[in-house]
Amino acid sequence: MLLAYSLLIPAFAHRVRHTFPVLKTESERVAQIIVITELLQSALRGDHPEFVPALHALAAELA
Q: What is residue 44's predicted lDDT score, i.e. its pLDDT?
A: 96
pLDDT of residue 47: 96
CB 22 within 8 A of CB 28: yes
Q: Where are the domains of the chain?
A: 2-62
Which pLDDT value is given to residue 8?
Answer: 96
pLDDT in tens, 9-50: 999 999 999 999 999 999 999 999 999 999 999 999 999 999
DSSP string, 17-37: HHH-GGGGSHHHHHHHHHHHH
For residue 51, how many other CB atoms are within 10 A of its CB?
19
Task: Indicate the pTM of the whole model.
Answer: 0.90
